Structure 1
Amino acid sequence: MRVFLCEKPSQARDIAKVLGAGQKSDGCLQGNGTVVTWGFGHLLEQAPPESYDPALKRWALETLPILPQSWKLEIKKDGRKQFGVIRKLLREATEVVVATDADREGETIAREILDYCGYRGQVTRLWLSALDDASIRKALADIRPGDSTYPLYLAGLGRSRADWLVGMNLTRAYTVIARQQGHDGVLSVGRVQTPTLRLVVDRDREIANFVPKPFWEVVGLFQAQGGVFKAKWKPRDESLLDEAGRCISETAARALVQRASGGQGRITQIETARKKEAPPLAMDLATLQQEGSRRFGYGAQQVLDIAQTLYETHKATTYPRTDCRYLPVSMLDEAEVVVTALLQSDPELASLRDRLDLTRKSRIWNDSKITAHHGIIPTTSRCDLSRMSEPDRNLYDLIRRHYLAQFLPPHEYDQTDVVVKLEGQDFVANGRQVRVDGWRELFSNGKDCDEGDAGGNKEDDGAQALPVLAQGEVCGVSSLDVLTKQTTPPKPFTEGTLIAAMKNVARFEQDEKLKALLRETAGIGTEATRAGIIDTLLKRGFLQRKGRALVSTPTGQQLIGALPTLLTAPGMTALWEQSLDEIAERRLSLEEFMDRQAILIGKLVQHAAGVPMTLPQQPTQKCPECGSPMRKRKGEKGPFWGCTRYPDCKGIVNIVQRRGRQKGSGTRGK
């Protein structure tokens, strides 16, 4: 019996429909000698420390580090019934087709079930890029050997186990140490979440400590024969400039204005060059999250949920959890089918069809840039826009515009750079004249496409429509003004810009060797996990939203201040991800990776035990038995103060809630 193992029920229904397995059974679909079953994401989870040793249920420094020699998984309580269905099917299966999401976590979800159940039969892999019927049929015709994707499972195990080691050991270590100081609550530490929190804390501190500095600009209005244009002073004396090239001498600026007002300048340099902007690449998940945040104020998790809906429910777009923005060359042959489906879905696009050149091969078609998945694009199937919510349509529109842009000409403009010499000083101006709209006709203005993507070019802030100018032309000074300005602090993170920072973490690293290494990694977390990491930090009270901004809370700031750099440095976590990629690429063994983690965790626990923490003081009591700090706890009869040295000392102070008074003290067993 051939069993298809899917990640979720909706995925199973789509695959079963194409396979003709329409007979419903308990936890599966059957037909034509095939069974399609499913999980609900992970049906298994890492076992807690007490499953290895009951004594580990108690949090204590002397029990750390906890380093399992033989790892255990447990069936999630809400997944036991479905797990039983899968286990029974595996006993009868002659072949299992792994049909979970085509990524590291998808591979892990399926393989951990097979291992837990002791399945030893044939395993193959259905690698899906979209869930429309045509994509499923295409993937079914090209089922891969199971061995080809097995390393993704090993990388998934490495990720899961490394997260467990950090979370269990270091959360316990720092929470116990904090409680010894009378600090209540759990100090959660995570391999990925803690460095992400550090990014926000550092940004908030930079903003809080920012001291604005003045600088001055001299802007002139020049009268040429063809018309008026604006030019800005560009000092050549470096003693007048800061590191960003801004004039920091008000005296020099005002002296120039006094000296040159009413004078005449001469154009000493004029250069015009035709420039072309290639269309923006297809969306990957991170870019979609950034644009969703910037344009619509959507949260990272919200964008991921919408992208999943477009993929799973509407069958309108391809697999969303991708880190790639390119497309394989072979998919250029499908352009006609994709565009036809887009036109059938939205007749308003009909006017665009005659201007599309579906043979145009833009930079997006590049096999060497393809990773596990290609960029997010529309599918070859027609979709029903009326069934989409407004957020669905907003993101779908972004995705389809970025696809259609590939078949329009490059955007072309003439860039003119001018230098005017006035009183021995250079004044510069630049202008832009659009010659071919090209792909930009799909976007209302340059800022509607993702920032900095249009062939690496950005609009120049000082660009203007210049009049006709000539080399050597004399231009009178109509006005000359000094503008007083101030430097501004960096902007707080939004969910979109934090996603970008997590992905491009190299720019936050000071060590040049580490920075070079980080440029080769995918940054902190993965496309599939970054939104969840931000959501976790929000739920745990380490971050909070202020409008569209994300800011750290006092608790988050205090936690980062208490932890060693090794735990908070974004660069270290990015290197972790690099090692997981090496496992997936068969360049590093899981055993070697875990040996490294065990050594590192031991050192971190040792460091935690030996370094005092500075935490905010909370209302507390002194133990009536030993004088140690106490912390508030909950018992069967209500809250009470308990000694932080418990169980060595069992001193308590009862809390009477009726009038908010404390009454009595003594000891009691527990």
Structure 2
Amino acid sequence: MFFFEKPSAMRQLQRFFKSPDTVCVAAEGHLLSAEEPGQIRPEWKPWRLDALPIVLDTIPVGYGANRSGQSHAGKVAAIKRALDGVDRVIIATDPGREGSMIAWEVLEHLGWRGRVDRLKLGALDDVSIRRAFAALAREPDSGERDYAAYLEALCRQYEDYHLGLNGTRAISLRLRPPAFREPWRFGGVQTPTLAILADLEARIRAFVPRDFFKVALTLATESGAALTLWHAPKERIFDAAMAETIRAAAEGWSGPLRVEDRDVRRAPPKLFSKDTLARRCAKRFGWDPQRTAGLAQDLYDQGYLSYPRTESEHLPESQTGDAAAILGGLAEAAPDLAGHVPEPGALVFRRGPKGHYVKDPGEHHAIVPLRKMPRPGSLGADLARLWDLVAKAYLAAHLPDGIDARTSVSADVATPLGGTRFTVTGSVVKAPGWRALYGAEAEDGADTVPGKARRDDPAPLGRLPAVRDREDATATEARVETAVTEPPRRITRGELPVVMGRLIDQVEDPAVKRALENPVNPNEPKGLGTAATRDAILPKLLKSHYVALNTGKDPAITVTEVGLAFMTAVRRVFPAYGDPVGRAVFEAELAEIGRAATRAEAERRADAFRRRTRVRLDELIAAIAGSPVLELDPSLAPEPARGSGPGRGGAREVRPPTPAMVAFAEAVADRKGLALPRDYRTHAGACRAFLDLHAGARAPGGAGPPGGERPPSPAMLRFARSLAERRGLACPPETETSFAACRGFLDAHAERRSEGAGRPPERADEPARKPRGKPGGKPGGKPGRTRSTRVGKTAGPARRTRQGS
């Protein structure tokens, strides 16, 4: 019996089967789902801290449902009937842990104890299918090793289930301030991912722009040419006096120029992994990673692309022989690319980590087109755009390097500070190579590291005027130009999976970088989650109001006040769960389960992991139970969503500061001679962080900032702002931070209490209202309703999610 993941893949292979004894079944993703705690024990349904931790040796499962809500019970029953009389099962689900789990969890549920083998289908074209069967024949223990992959996936689910269930309930019940009504969701991967974003958010909010200086030197050469050289060192000049000293020395310079000519080779970009493909599609088309993954899976199911859920950007050296056939088909399927396809003897094969072919690319190689080509016009618009993107990358990988003729002109100027070099570089295309395939798009191929500030290095100019080496020149002008430092860039929606997978690019400490290296596969350093699950993390963070999306084709991610508060609580109570590097190392240890050589070894490692998970749960709950409620300004609690728009995923937009906050921040900056944050006018959090740092923060619970000044309450502020808006007044900046100033403004402009007949000032301009609620009850609520019952009602039980949440 062949066990497929979906009917489309089953149809691709059925044409190969001639024996009447061959049976085929297809799942529909996961057919079984974990039971909710309340279904296991009724006493686990209410959210109570004294019931935690909830720990199970194994997670009970029931029948899942398809997108239409129909139970998978019928499918499982059909598979049970198909197993009758079968003596061998061949798992032919998608390669990887997730595909292994889809089949094994059903076989285990049905009690199957016969022989199991694993057919690894890296692609669904005829050649790849035949190669997969040949590999199956050479691997008599494929089922044993695949069971290890299943156990790794099962352990990931086990940790996910218990961390999400216990962590979410404990943090929401014990640490979350009463004003915050949504559950504070917790997860083994999503929490460290939020930590990356929160740390970046803190650096951006704390960033204060600084002026730095570059010195320009304009020269006239002996032959009559004019050109401008620059002194812009990597270690920026922040001292204006130093820049002026260099300028003064350069102003009277004369002497020989140094001219260096060299050819610079530019190799084509790497092939696509799942995450880098998602990043490119987000940048080019504005697609979110889940949409890109769905389109790539569709092309894989049709046999046009190799397996898409891969972390590798390389191909095995054994596939160099496929290039000529694939590129020959490419010329027929995409006539606009035909003119760029070289003759078979002219193909370029770059080997090694910096090239495209390596001996072992890992479990799955890069995403590439296959021999099976789509007919022109047969694909939908988005499928065609994605296939074309992958096909171009594969073609470019086999084309010659681009070559630029680069000329550098430099002058060494003696200054009181020592020798100083001024340079200018000119570059012209000598041979386009692979860049002819992309045209102007080739310049967009070099992606910057997400979360880092952009470098302001001057781009090479075009062709420079003719200057001889050692030609004399004389300064005609020297000037100092001022530039401003930029904050780190926010990570975008399309970049987040890349950041999770390449955490090594986000750290600077050499020791930490070494800890993130992967000796098993140096091309794939340790990261967070798996390629198959990273796309699901951002929607969960958005749902929890921990982050919000800005606008744009590939919107940047901003951490909200809720997200920052949540991370503060986690790191105070259990720092290990707020450490992305520690989590990445932990996941690498978890991956050792899937690499076990035998079933017995995998089971031993899985049992040890489950025991370790239970110990960590006990420690987590104990730490949370002994911690006080986090004190936070109630006004930071998320407001109800105002609707969703394109690219927002239903999340709230980033809130701008009030005009009074902006005015007060500008007044503080002017009085103290400070530089304001870059986004203080558009980001309330950035403006508030500046005021907290330089004007005293609004402390929770009525405590004033240093100096004893008491801040106004949130209700007072809301009333002052609404009053100013109704009467067309300017709300003084001091009302934002001073109770006395806010009260004075209200006393001066609010209606007299006699007009309101004793009603509170917030309602003084409105008709009297009758209190809502039943007789004898509290106004606006049910009689006797307490805070604890309200919390228990609004915070529902944690739902079971796919692994990696």
For residues 404 and 226 of structure 1, the distance between their equivalents in structure 2, rounded to whole angstroms, comes to 46
How far is the alpha carbon of 1:231 from its aligned partner? 1.4
Structure 2 CA distance, aligned partners of 1:511 and 1:481?
37
Kindly indicate whether residue 447 of structure 2 is the aligned counterpart of residue 443 of structure 1. Answer: no
Paired residue for 1:32? Answer: 20
The C-alpha deviation readout for 1:468-520, integer Å capped at 9, x for no partner, is 33333222334433211111111221122222211121344577544422232
Higher mean displacement: 178-187 or 168-177: 178-187
Query: Do the aligned partners of residues 230 and 312 (structure 1) sit closer, same or farther apart at CA in structure 2, a change above 3 Å counting?
Result: farther
- Whether 2:260 is the aligned partner of 1:271: answer yes
Q: Displacement, 1:192?
A: 0.7
Select the residue among 528, 541, 544 that pairs with 1:540: 544
1:318 matched residue in structure 2: 306
Q: Among 319, 322, 331, which residue is 1:331 paired with? A: 319
Give the distance between the partners of 1:226 and 1:522, measured in 2 at CA.
57
SS of the equivalent of 2:408 reads strand
Question: Which TM-score applies when normalising by structure 2?
Answer: 0.71
SS of equivalent residue, structure 2 residue 475:
strand
Q: Is 1:55–2:51 an aligned residue pair?
A: no
Match for residue 189 of structure 2? 192
Give, in whole Å, the separation in 1 of the partners of 2:359 and 2:456. 29
Task: Tell me, yes or no, if the aligned pair for 1:285 and 1:321 is still in contact at 8 Å.
Answer: yes
1:63-82 → structure 2 map (5 Å cutoff): 63-77=51-65, 78-82=71-75
- Further displaced range: 463-472 or 509-518: 509-518
Alpha-carbon contact 2:347-2:399 (below 8 Å) kept: no
The alpha-carbon distance between structure 1 residues 436 and 397, as it changes in their structure 2 partners (threshold 3 A), is: same
Deviations 1:197-236 (A, max 9, x none): 222222222222211011111122323337333311257x
Query: Is the contact made by 1:7 and 1:38 (CA closer than 8 Å) also made in structure 2?
Result: yes
Give 1:253's aligned residue.
243
AA at the equivalent of 1:350:
A
Q: Do 1:408 and 1:439's aligned partners in 2 also have CA atoms closer than 8 Å?
A: yes
- The question of 1:576 aligning with 2:586 is answered yes
User: In the alignment, which residue of structure 2 is the partner of 1:384?
Assistant: 375
**What letter matches 1:576 in structure 2?**
F
2:621 aligns with one of 589, 600, 605: 605
| Alpha-carbon shift at residue 536 of structure 1 (Å) | 2.2
Which residue does the alignment assign to 1:240?
Answer: none
Superposition deviation, residue 264 in structure 1: 4.1
Which residue matches 1:666?
Answer: 784
Pick from 292, 295, 299: which aligns with 1:303?
292
Tell me the residue number matched to 1:646: none
Note if contact 1:265-1:421 (Cα within 8 Å) is conserved in structure 2.
no
**Distance in 2 separating the partners of 1:15 and 1:256:** 73
Tell me: CA distance 1:268–1:478, structure 2 relative to 1, closer, same or farther (3 Å). Answer: closer
Contact 1:503–1:522 (CA<8 Å) still a contact in 2? yes
After the TM superposition, which parts of structure 1 deviate over 6 Å for at least 4 consecutive aligned residues? 667-670
Question: 2: CA distance between counterparts of 1:36 and 1:354?
Answer: 42
Encode CA deviations 1:43-73: one digit per residue, 9 max, x unaligned: 1223333454332222222222222124422
Partner of 1:353, secondary structure, is coil
Structure 1 counterpart of 2:751: none
Q: 1:302 to 1:656 in 2, by over 3 A?
A: farther
- Which of 346, 354, 375 does residue 366 from structure 2 map onto? 375
Query: In the TM superposition, what are the counterparts of 1:622-641 in structure 2 within 5 Å?
Result: none
SS in 2 for 1:381: coil
- 1:601 CA drift (Å): 1.7
Give the CA deviation at 1:359: 4.6
* Alpha-carbon distance, 1:615 to partner: 5.2
- CA 1:248–1:450 in structure 2 vs 1: closer, same or farther (change >3 Å)? closer
Describe the shift of the 1:352–1:174 C-alpha distance in structure 2 as closer, same or farther (beyond 3 A): same
CA-based RMSD: 3.0
Q: 1:290 deviation in Å?
A: 1.4
* TM-fit CA distance, 1:166: 0.9
Q: Where does residue 424 of structure 2 map in the other structure?
A: 429
For 1:278 and 1:667, the matched residues in 2 are separated by 68
What's 2:278 paired with?
289
Give the 3 Å change call, closer, same or farther, for CA 508–138 of structure 1 in structure 2. closer
Aligned to 2:386: 395
- Give CA-to-partner distance per residue, 1:72-102, whole Å, 9 cap, x none: 2222143222122112222332211101110
Q: Given the alignment, which residue of 475, 491, 494 partners 1:493?
A: 491
- 2:32 maps to amino acid: L
Change (3 A) 1:126 1:485: same
The whole-number CA distance in structure 1 between the counterparts of 2:80 and 2:224 is: 82
Conserved in 2, the CA contact under 8 Å of 1:332 and 1:359? no
> Aligned in 2, Cα 1:292/1:387: closer, same or farther, shift over 3 Å?
same
One-letter code aligned to 1:461: P
Secondary structure of 1:531's match? helix
**Distance in 2 between residues matched to 1:320 and 1:270, nearest whole Å:** 48
Question: C-alpha separation between the residues in 1 aligned to 2:328 and 2:343?
Answer: 14
| Aligned counterpart, 1:634 | none
Q: CA deviation at 1:365?
A: 5.2
Q: Give yes or no for contact 2:145–2:595 (8 Å, CA) kept in 1.
A: no
Written as runs of structure 1 = structure 2, the 5 A alignment for 1:406-555 is 406-424=397-415, 425-445=420-440, 446-451=442-447, 461-464=458-461, 465-509=463-507, 513-520=511-518, 521-547=525-551, 548-555=555-562
- Count of aligned pairs: 610
Show the counterpart of 1:43. Answer: 31
After TM superposition, give the deviation of residue 466 of structure 1 in Å.
2.8
C-alpha distance in structure 1 between counterparts of 2:631 and 2:10, whole Å? 50
Q: 1:114 — aligned with what?
A: 107
What's the counterpart of residue 99 of structure 1?
92
Contact 2:209–2:487, Cα closer than 8 Å, also in 1: yes
Q: TM-score, normalised by structure 1?
A: 0.84
SS at match of 2:57: coil
* Paired residue secondary structure (1:580): helix
**Alignment partners' CA distance in 2, 1:226 and 1:593:** 75
Q: How many Å separate the matches in 2 of 1:175 and 1:234?
A: 52
Counterpart residue identity of residue 489, structure 1: P
Q: Distance in 2 between matches of 1:47 and 1:207?
A: 42
Q: Which one of 552, 574, 586 corresponds to residue 596 of structure 2? A: 586
- Structure 2, unmatched stretches of 5+, are 66-70, 450-454, 519-524, 636-770, 794-805
Shift in Å, 1:616:
4.2
How far the C-alpha of 1:579 sits from its partner, in A, is: 1.5
Look up the match of 1:648. Answer: none
Shift in alpha-carbon separation, 1:190–1:443, aligned structure 2, 3 A: same
What is the alpha-carbon distance in structure 2 between the residues aligned to residue 189 and residue 417 of structure 1? 54
Q: Secondary structure at the match of 2:443?
A: helix
Take 2:50 and 2:413, find their aligned partners in 1: how far apart are those partners? 76
Look up the SS of the partner of 2:494 in the other structure: helix
What code does the residue aligned with 2:313 have?
R
The answer as to whether partners of 1:7 and 1:99 remain within 8 angstroms in 2 is yes
Instruction: Give ranges in structure 1 of 5+ residues lacking alignment.
Output: 21-30, 236-243, 620-652
Contact 2:93 2:100 in 1 (8 A): yes
Any residues of structure 2 matched to 1:102-251 within 5 Å, and which?
Answer: 102-143=95-136, 144=139, 145-178=142-175, 181=178, 183-224=180-221, 225=223, 227-234=225-232, 245-251=235-241
Percent identity between the two aligned chains: 29
Whether the 8 Å CA contact 1:420–1:426 is kept in 2: the answer is yes
From 7, 10, 20, the equivalent of 2:8 is 10
167-176 vs 515-524, greater mean Cα deviation: 515-524
1:260 deviation in Å? Answer: 3.8
Q: 1:213 to 1:65 in 2, by over 3 A?
A: same
Is the Cα contact below 8 Å between 1:291 and 1:450 reproduced in 2?
A: no
Contact 1:97–1:123 (8 Å) recurs in 2:
yes
Bigger drift between 409-418 and 184-193 goes to: 409-418
Taking the aligned partners of 1:372 and 1:407, their CA distance within structure 2 comes to 23
User: What SS is found at the alignment partner of 1:92?
Assistant: coil
Q: 1 CA distance for matches of 2:322 and 2:26? A: 30
Alpha-carbon distance change, 571 to 342 in structure 1, aligned in 2, over 3 angstroms: same
